[in-house]
């Protein structure tokens, strides 16, 4: 899509994407599948996106489809972060590099003429997007596979289909150049680690201590499963995954003996290293949490790899 695309063409495409997001067929609008036009993110939305991602000076920000470079330049100028943007349109790339130089951040904000689908995103700690719904779905598996757990992804206006955001908001966007409604949506995710499998641990080295066995199914960042303690089913109150950090709260009851367990730790390959507490009545014992993954399987969302975006979006695949 050329920089000089006519306003009406841009409007048509974005009207198309709005309809697309609403699940309507866009064939009549003639939108090219996966072809993202140039539309700027309004300044207040840039600020909110970066703020939401809690950008720090040690962050590495990658903007996929960087336009005039505003996202990475603002991250460098306001927060001292580094990063790069990739953009197909060479005039925009030139403009972005010139703006970075003018802003005094050319050493930290660089722009390349490159296809986002062929871009290595692995150095990122933050990825920013203003693409189209189907393009978000096209790159979702790559983001999940390549980015380190804990990397933040922020998208303007469009979500990631079945990968539910950790947070989303909608706010006034008076500077928006497309659409009748001057509001923007912002979606935020943290890339989850891999917690799926069967985990085993004991809270003391005592041979008679009961074994904990946790079976976890994972769909994106959501976990569900069962916990047994000494072969007895315990009640799982909370099991949460945030990047590579996992938190588990559970309780068990045997006769009149009730115990509560609180664990939090970090997943490192097939181990969890962390701390916890065992609470019995008024007593609260600090314990280490060292769990081993004794069986592993794929998170359920791996099954969505290769599913065409149109299928997931529920629009006819042949229509565009």
Ligand X SMILES: C[S@@+](CC[C@H](N)C(=O)[O-])C[C@H]1O[C@@H](n2cnc3c(N)ncnc32)[C@H](O)[C@@H]1O
**Chain positions contacting ligand X, by CB under 6 A:** 1, 36, 38-41, 63, 65-67, 70-71, 86-89, 92, 115-117, 130, 156
Burial 79-118 (b: 16+ CB within 10 A, else e): bebbbbbbbbbeebbebbbebbeebebbebbbbeebebee
Shortest Cβ 128–ligand X spacing (Å): 7
CB of 150: closest distance to ligand X in angstroms?
Answer: 23
* Shortest distance in whole angstroms from residue 189 CB to ligand X: 17
Minimum distance from residue 16 beta carbon to ligand X (Å): 13
With vertex at residue 48, the alpha carbon angle to CA 175 and CA 135, rounded to the nearest 5 degrees, is 80
- Which CB sits closer to ligand X, 64 or 216? 64
Choose between 69 and 299: whose C-beta lies nearer to ligand X. 69
d(CA 105, CA 75): 10
In angstroms, what is the minimal distance from the CB of 49 to ligand X? 9
Q: Which single residue brings its beta carbon nearest to ligand X?
A: 65
Smaller CB separation from ligand X, 97 or 218: 97
**Of 117 and 254, which has the nearer Cβ to ligand X?**
117
Instruction: With CA atoms as reference, report the closest residue to 187 among 19, 42, 49.
Output: 49
Q: What's the rounded Cα separation, in Å, for the pair 73 and 81? A: 9
Question: Please, which residue, 83 or 276, has the CB nearer to ligand X?
Answer: 83
Torsion of CA 75, 76, 81, 87, to 10 degrees: 70
């Amino acid at each position: 899509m050329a920089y000089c695309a006519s306003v009406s063409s841009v409007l048509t495409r974005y009207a198309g994407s709005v309809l697309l997001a609403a699940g309507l067929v866009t064939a009549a609008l003639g939108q090219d599948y996966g072809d993202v036009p140039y539309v700027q993110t309004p300044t207040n939305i840039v600020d909110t996106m970066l703020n939401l991602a809690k950008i720090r000076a040690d962050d590495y920000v990658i903007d996929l489809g960087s336009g005039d470079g505003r996202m990475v330049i603002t991250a460098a100028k306001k927060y001292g972060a580094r990063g790069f943007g990739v953009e197909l349109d060479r005039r925009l790339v030139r403009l972005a590099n010139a703006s970075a130089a003018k802003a005094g951040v050319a050493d930290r904000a660089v722009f390349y003429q490159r296809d986002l689908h062929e871009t290595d995103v692995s150095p990122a700690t933050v990825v920013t997007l203003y693409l189209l719904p189907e393009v978000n779905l096209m790159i979702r598996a790559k983001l999940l596979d390549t980015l380190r757990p804990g990397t933040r992804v922020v998208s303007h206006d469009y979500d990631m289909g079945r990968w539910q955001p950790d947070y989303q908001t909608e706010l006034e966007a008076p500077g928006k150049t497309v659409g009748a409604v001057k509001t923007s949506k912002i979606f935020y995710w943290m890339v989850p680690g891999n917690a799926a499998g069967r985990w085993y641990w004991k809270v003391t080295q005592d041979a008679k201590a009961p074994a904990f066995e946790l079976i976890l199914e994972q769909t994106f960042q959501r976990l569900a499963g069962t916990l047994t303690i000494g072969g007895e089913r315990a009640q799982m109150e909370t099991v949460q995954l945030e990047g590579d950090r996992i938190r588990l709260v559970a309780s068990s009851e045997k006769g009149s003996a009730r115990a509560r367990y609180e664990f939090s730790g970090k997943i490192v390959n097939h181990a969890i290293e962390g701390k916890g507490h065992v609470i019995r009545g008024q007593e609260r014992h600090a314990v280490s949490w060292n769990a081993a993954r004794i069986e592993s399987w794929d998170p359920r969302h791996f099954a969505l790899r290769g599913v065409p975006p149109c299928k997931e979006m529920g629009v006819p695949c042949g229509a565009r």
